[in-house]
Structure 1
C-alpha cells in the first residue's frame, strides 16, 4: 500500500472553479479537486462517507463495527477523508467524532453541474 500523503484540501480554492461544463479546469484547479475525488474513489471510504453524511455526527466507535477491517485501517481511511477536506473531526475523550463538511459537497456538486440542454448532456 502506498504511503502517499494527501494535502488537506483548501475549500476556498475549490470555490473558485466553474462547472466543468462551462469551461475546462486549469491544471491548478484540477490538482486541488482531485484529492477529494480520489478519497471518494475507494469503496470503503465511500461507505464511510455515506455513514458520516447520513447523520449530524458519528463516533468512530459506531463506524468500525460496520466493516470487517481493523481499527487502524478504518482510522487510515478516515484520515484520508479528513485530509481531502470532506469531513471534520473532534476528539472527545478516547473517541473521535466525525461530521461531513456540506460545503465540500456543495462545491463538488457545483463543479459537476451539467446544465440541462447542454451539448454534453445530450451526447
Structure 2
C-alpha cells in the first residue's frame, strides 16, 4: 500500500469541508501562534516570557538577576524575541523595560495559566 492510499470506506464530506473552512479561517492565528512558539521554544525565552507575563515589564538587569544569567545572554534572547515581534521595549529615562506585546500575551495566556496552576498545586501540597 502506498502512502497516498486511504483505507476508509466512506468519507464524511461535510466534516472534511467544515474542517477545511475552519483551517482556512484559522490560518492567520495558527501562523502567528507558530511564530510565537518558535521563539518561545527555548527554556530561557519561555522563562523570560513567563516573567514578563507575571510582572508586566522588567529590565534586562532584573531578568538577569532572576534567572541567574549574564546580561549579554539575556540581551540576546530579548533581541530575538523583539525582532520576532513577541516583546517590545520602552525607555523610561535611562532605563529600558521589556514587556510582552498584547498579541503574544493573548496567545500565551492559557499556557502560562497552566504553569501558574501547577505551581499553586505544588505549593499547597508542600
Q: TM-score range by the shorter chain?
A: 0.5 to 0.7
CA contact (8 A) 2:85 2:101 kept: yes
1:91: how far off? 2.8
Alignment CA distance shift 1:96-1:43 (3 Å): same
Taking the aligned partners of 1:65 and 1:21, their CA distance within structure 2 comes to 47
Contact 1:61 1:95 in 2 (8 A): no
SS of residue paired to 1:69: coil
1:1-29 deviation digits (Å, cap 9, x = unpaired): xxxxxxxxxxxxxxxxxxx9921699998
TM-score computed with the length of structure 1 as normaliser = 0.56
Deviations 1:42-81 (A, max 9, x none): 0000000010111232222211112232211100001111
Higher Rg:
2
Instruction: Work out whether residues 52 and 98 of structure 1, in 8 Å CA contact, stay in contact via their aligned partners in 2.
Output: yes
CA RMSD, 1 decimal: 3.2
User: For structure 2, which runs of at least 5 residues remain unmatched after alignment?
Assistant: 1-19, 110-126
2:38 is matched with 38
Contact kept in structure 1, 2:53 and 2:105, CA below 8 Å: no
The residue number in structure 2 matching 1:23 is 23
Structure possessing the higher relative contact order (Cα contacts under 8 Å, 6 or more residues apart): 1
Return the alpha-carbon distance in structure 1 between the equivalents of residues 25 and 76 of structure 2: 30
Q: What's the counterpart of residue 56 of structure 2?
A: 56
Taking the aligned partners of 1:64 and 1:21, their CA distance within structure 2 comes to 45
For normalisation by structure 2, the TM-score amounts to 0.55
Structure number with higher helix proportion: 2
